[in-house]
Amino acid sequence: MIKRSFVGLTTPSFEYSVKDSSISGPQKVAPSKTVRLIIESPFSRSVALKAGNEVKTGQRLCIGNACAVSGVTGKIASVERYVNQAGKACTAVVIEVAASEQIDDAFANACRSNPRKAAQEFLANAPGNPPMSLFDEGKGLDTVVICGADSDLDIVTQQQVLEQSTDAVQKGIAAIKKITGISNIVAVAPQSLMQKAGSIGASAKVVSNAYPAANPYWIMKDIIGKVVPAGKSWEDLGVCIMSAEAAASIGRAFDEGKAPAEKIITVVKKNGGKLLVSARIGTLFSDVFAAAGISVSGGDRIIVGGPMTGYAAYAEDQAVEAGTDAIMVQGASDITPVSDYPCINCGECARICPAKIQVNMLVRFCEAAKYQDAADLYDLHCCIECGLCSYVCVSRMPIFQYIKLAKHELARMNTAEATND
């Protein structure tokens, strides 16, 4: 079933990586000259953010209701159009980093008057992407799952955070309990980290190392004991799932009185070697590669995230974001190209699908842009986005990408219909 390696000559496996002493770091990466912050709002020439504006570390930079928090002190060099990997129109703010750092005290002041609002305003793009629904009073959440296991293969970021920043995760859990009143906190982690998971003020549960056991839908089914219905999310069942790093960010923010900005990333080199780095949000990939001793040549592929669910970055001047858990560089000779060969109906995809979807049929409808039929007839919304079907497809069809596109287009069409109603 497992036919090809992800990088170099490493043996492919459907088991999660376990962090061990062979993985060095985290090595600190300083931005060499500029950082690039992404604000999820379309670019407009009339925005208040302008080249030349001074920015402090921890300062909110907003366009309309969308904001990013600067992880550095410096001066805005440019404000540009940017389209993210999901095709959403955003704005990139490029900041020239100053030699000395000044901390913005707005978060500390906001905390004193209203910690819940301070979290909502300043922590949405903190390392680990804390889910803001957690602080929404009308959401009806009664359980929080803190995930100290990594959600894709070859990544050890969340394990690193749970192991080395246990104190910050524990403080985060205490803050969550105090602000939200939610007392049912569950920490899930690999067996090797059970002792840590049991020491942070949560009930500890083991997650298997067989992929995709750390997928949120799988955690819900196997650990929380609730099956998420098609088209719904775990939040509809009263459960908030967040990474250990998100909890650590909340803990550090309230402990230190400033929004954290240092992101832990697993870097996978072309030969399969791994190391951990720590970089400010907005740091360019080129700076990460320079620090990790990686040279990227024409034809190599940069993957943001893991080998099963990550996406390709198109340039080295893309930047570390709050959810960038891993960056992989695949050598040109290791890349298995996707193809436009037709499906030969071998059934490999359907046999491996953990959601028991008839993927060979689903992909036909997605490929033909019959998105509503894909949802109504072939369980598009039951897909848990594990990527296994793409990996095993003998025709090398980009099935996972077809599925993601189908979901994206359906969501866009439904939003447009709701707006027109």
Helix runs in 224-347, H state only = 244-256, 285-292
Identify whether the C-beta of residue 60 lies closer than 8 Å to the C-beta of residue 110.
no
Distance in Å, CB of 327 to ligand SF4, minimum: 22
Identify whether the C-beta of residue 96 lies closer than 8 Å to the C-beta of residue 33.
yes
Rounded CA separation 8/417 (Å)? 47
Tell me which H or E stretch contains 29: strand 24-29
> Which C-beta is closer to ligand SF4: that of 122 or that of 400?
400
Q: Does 391 bind ligand SF4 (CB under 6 A)?
A: no
Out of 30, 51, 83, 346, name the contact with ligand SF4 by CB under 6 A: 346
> Which C-beta is closer to ligand SF4: that of 95 or that of 363?
363
Out of 122, 400, 406, 407, name the contact with ligand SF4 by CB under 6 A: 400
Distance in Å, CB of 377 to ligand SF4, minimum: 14
Span interacting with ligand SF4, options 149-157, 200-208, 240-248, 358-366, rule CB under 6 A: 358-366
Span interacting with ligand SF4, options 66-74, 94-102, 289-297, 377-385, rule CB under 6 A: 377-385
Distance in Å, CB of 395 to ligand SF4, minimum: 4
Q: Does 354 bind ligand SF4 (CB under 6 A)?
A: yes
Q: Does 214 bind ligand SF4 (CB under 6 A)?
A: no
> Which C-beta is closer to ligand SF4: that of 279 or that of 389?
389
Rounded CA separation 190/207 (Å)? 5
Q: Does 235 bind ligand SF4 (CB under 6 A)?
A: no
Query: How do strand 60-63 and strand 54-55 relate by DSSP bridges?
Result: unpaired
Considering just the CA atoms, what is the radius of gyration of the chain in Å?
A: 21
Query: How do strand 184-189 and strand 143-147 relate by DSSP bridges?
Result: parallel
Out of 82, 397, 402, 406, name the contact with ligand SF4 by CB under 6 A: 397
Rounded CA separation 324/212 (Å)? 19
Identify whether the C-beta of residue 51 lies closer than 8 Å to the C-beta of residue 34.
no
Q: Does 395 bind ligand SF4 (CB under 6 A)?
A: yes
- Cα four-point dihedral sign 221, 225, 231, 232: negative
* CA angle (294 as vertex; 289, 300 as ends), nearest 5: 100
Q: Does 363 bind ligand SF4 (CB under 6 A)?
A: yes
Out of 144, 244, 265, 355, name the contact with ligand SF4 by CB under 6 A: 355
Task: Name the site residues for ligand SF4 (rule: CB under 6 A).
Answer: 343-349, 353-355, 357, 359-360, 363, 383-389, 392-395, 397, 399-400, 403
